[in-house]
A and B are shown apart, each in its own frame.
Chain A
């Protein structure tokens, strides 16, 4: 046969909890691995409320000059929490960018560290002992290669650890994404590439970002398992990551998951999305708010009601207040701190700069400055 098909693939989109908050009966059959229990959904719903409250508070802080530029996570809580919940704390690794705060926190990064980071304080990147969460990554795409390396180490050392790395739709245009995925798949490392496709990369819509129909299919070229899910569906997100994690642990290698979600806020507090996107589009997605959907589900099961909602929102607000207090309660960093952590051992010249806060030789050695000499002529 002169012409034959050598490759064919399909990409599936999975939704388990639909927009009206109704579970697909077939996909959610009790006993199906990776399907959240009521108790788990309640737990995650409370985390969603917290995440939203902390996020809204950050916005307020920024507007009152108590925080610098902050990227809101609003609208992407199901993607962050559903995925994070499928990973094992302390064993698995979370390698984030900046729009999955709740996943970082679920795995041990304190909320107030995230605040500190955006308050312009490196101590927000401090990873507590035993926590396997990498700090926020601002340069787009770079963290995915680190995730690949971390997963590779787990494989080489025969550790039962899986790595999930987060990135946006825009990040898939960076070379790093392709290199990370290629390495990860080629070496069969236990990694999950979790794309939060929130439809926008600052002002650039998904369709302008790539001519590819889906982000998920980009994994095909590298031999990764590929899946698209409704990213505002807590069940589908969790299930997809659960399955990907099982696959990775069983030596099945890499999965790329494209979670279809939406950035309900501006790109950051420095951005004004009204310049480039339709309010109608935003409103359509507001109706698909993952918190709303999860709530409707819980209510339909008799697990939640208006009164609990009020109480839950109050708790979340109080929680956010505690986060603010924790972050603002930390004394400002000392200028010395910018020198202290550059190397394990401080080079002598750097110590001089640290101790004198000067880079000019006379500033560093006042005894020299006291010298008065007539210029020497040859």
Chain B
């Protein structure tokens, strides 16, 4: 066991898989010599060479589209898009091509690739460096969408993603990159895509979240009265969602608060709320609450903290569903 940050867990897992599977290549802007702007691929080019850890031209469409080709031809590409805000130029390749090949060729052309993307706010980064677009890639069929919130989950999910026969968007919450360390098991293990995690068990209310917001939920739960027993679920995988875990929990608690950084409109939180409404209708004691970013553009750094859901807003929503 080693103490690792999220960054270190991802780096070492990439190295592990590159060692094991010669088809795996990492490519993207500044991922080679510089080790990526967050240093997630630090040292990998030195270890595996320039043919496997590749600095590309500055072109997200190029990175994504060429990775599709690599994958189709039998490689296991791991393209990195430097920040989620720059998925824009890659959108067409990702959504209209990577996501569709299997279906439109009736399973004969497939795209096993893992798109790594730092995601989310809270680090006072410039414009287009702080968004949470997971709903966009969930809404569009054909992609799997993962967002681990801890080093341990990142390792197991990344291995599953790389070995998955389909394209996986692997969102890495940058606010968590170096926010804490934890023991990560040395041995190889996978965490199945599509399995949520019960972070803490409870009986009165279910709090559902993913990515960096999980930590705001934990902070909010710390402030709850002693006699309130809240259950926290970290979805970890956004799509395919672990509906059973959500339903089982809300069946038990009868109350749900869904927390995300992304704007509310047509979001993953909306989907979770709809799921609960459909599956747990008779068990609900209160309307499902969504604590989310606002339906406006992620503000620049000065107002960032006014935008992101914090422990206060989460705690208030929990108390309100309990009092309803």
B3 part of interface (Cβ distance < 8 Å): no
Known pairs A69-B126, A120-B302, A362-B321; A203 contacts B287 (CB<8 A)? no
Instruction: From the candidates A120, A141, A358, name the one contacting B300 in the complex (CB within 8 A).
Output: A120
B304-A350 in contact (CB<8A)? no
Enumerate chain B residues within 8 angstroms of A377, measured Cβ to Cβ. Answer: 282
Pair B292/A359 contact, Cβ less than 8 Å = yes
**Chain B residues within an 8 Å CB radius of A359:** 264, 290-295, 309
Q: A362 touching B37 by the CB < 8 A rule?
A: no
Q: In the complex, which residues of chain B have a beta carbon less than 8 angstroms from the beta carbon of A353?
A: 294-296
By CB atoms of chain B within 10 A, which of A342, A353, A360 has the most? A360
> Across the interface, which residues of A come within 8 angstroms of B231, CB to CB?
none
Which residue of B37, B254, B284 contacts A270 across the interface (Cβ within 8 Å)? B37
What A residues does B324 contact at CB under 8 A?
362, 368-369, 371-373
- Closest chain A CB from B265 CB (angstroms): 8
Question: In angstroms, how far is the closest chain B Cβ from the Cβ of A270?
Answer: 7
In the bound complex, do residue A121 and residue B61 qualify as a contact, i.e. CB atoms below 8 Å apart?
no
Binding site for A on B (CB under 8 A): 29-30, 32-35, 37, 55, 57-62, 85-86, 88-89, 124-129, 254, 257, 264, 282-287, 289-297, 299-304, 306-307, 309, 313, 316-317, 320-321, 323-324
Residues of A within 8 Å of B297, CB to CB, are: 338, 342
Residues of A within 8 A of B301 (CB): 68, 119-120
Pairwise interchain contact B295-A335, C-beta atoms closer than 8 A: no
Q: Are A369 and B323 neighbours in the complex by a CB distance under 8 Å?
A: yes
Given A333-B303, A359-B291, A362-B289, A138 and B323 contact (CB-CB distance below 8 Å): no
Q: Given A335-B306, A359-B291, are A175 and B58 neighbors across the interface (CB < 8 Å)?
A: no
Q: Cβ of A171 < 8 Å from any Cβ of B?
A: yes
Chain A hits for B127, CB < 8 A: 138
A-B contact pairs, 13 of them (CB 8 A): A68-B125, A139-B86, A174-B89, A203-B34, A204-B30, A208-B55, A276-B33, A338-B299, A342-B296, A358-B313, A359-B290, A360-B291, A362-B286
A176 touches B58 (CB 8 A): no
Chain B min CB distance to A58 (Å): 13
A258 to chain B, nearest CB (A): 16
Q: How far is the CA of A361 from the CA of B320 in the complex (A)?
A: 10
Contacts of A160 in B (CB 8 A): none
Q: How far is the CB of A14 from chain B (nearest CB, A)?
A: 26
A139 near B85: Cβ-Cβ < 8 Å: yes
- Chain A residues closer than 8 Å to B299, beta-carbon distance: 122, 333, 337-338
Cross-chain contact B89 with A176 (CB below 8 angstroms): yes
Q: What does DSSP make chain A's interface, helix, strand, loop or mixed?
A: loop
Chain A residues with Cβ under 8 A from B294's Cβ?
338-339, 350, 353-354, 359
Q: Which residues of A contact B289 (CB under 8 A)?
A: 360-363
The residue on A at minimum CB distance from B55 is: A204
In the complex, the chain A residue whose C-beta lies closest to that of B289 is A360
A360 to B231: give the CA distance in the assembly, Å.
Answer: 19
Contacts of B32 in A (CB 8 A): 203
Complex Cα spacing A365 to B217, Å? 22
- Whether A201 sits at the interface, judged by CB under 8 Å, is yes
Q: Which residues of B contact A119 (CB under 8 A)?
A: 301-302
A375 at the interface (CB under 8 A from B): yes
In the complex, whether A39 has a CB less than 8 A from a CB of chain B is no
How far is A202 from B309 in the complex, measured between Cα atoms in Å? 32
Asked if A186 is at the interface of the complex by the 8 Å CB criterion, the answer is no
CA distance A119 to B127 in the complex (A): 11
Given A119-B302, A208-B57, A338-B297, output 8 extra A-B contacts at Cβ < 8 Å. A68-B125, A203-B30, A333-B299, A359-B294, A359-B295, A361-B287, A369-B324, A372-B324
- B-chain residues with CB within 8 Å of residue A203 when the two chains form the complex: 30, 32-34, 55
Q: A202-B37, A339-B296, A342-B296 are in contact. Are A69 and B57 (CB under 8 A)?
A: no
With A139-B88, A360-B291, A371-B324 known to touch, is A175 a contact of B59 (CB < 8 Å)?
yes
Closest residue of chain A to B36 (Cβ to Cβ) is A203
Q: How far is the CA of A140 from the CA of B283 in the complex (A)?
A: 50
- Could you tell me if B125 and A349 are in contact, using CB atoms closer than 8 angstroms? no
Q: A275, B89: Cβ atoms under 8 Å?
A: no
Q: State in angstroms the CA–CA spacing of A209 and B154 once bound together.
A: 31
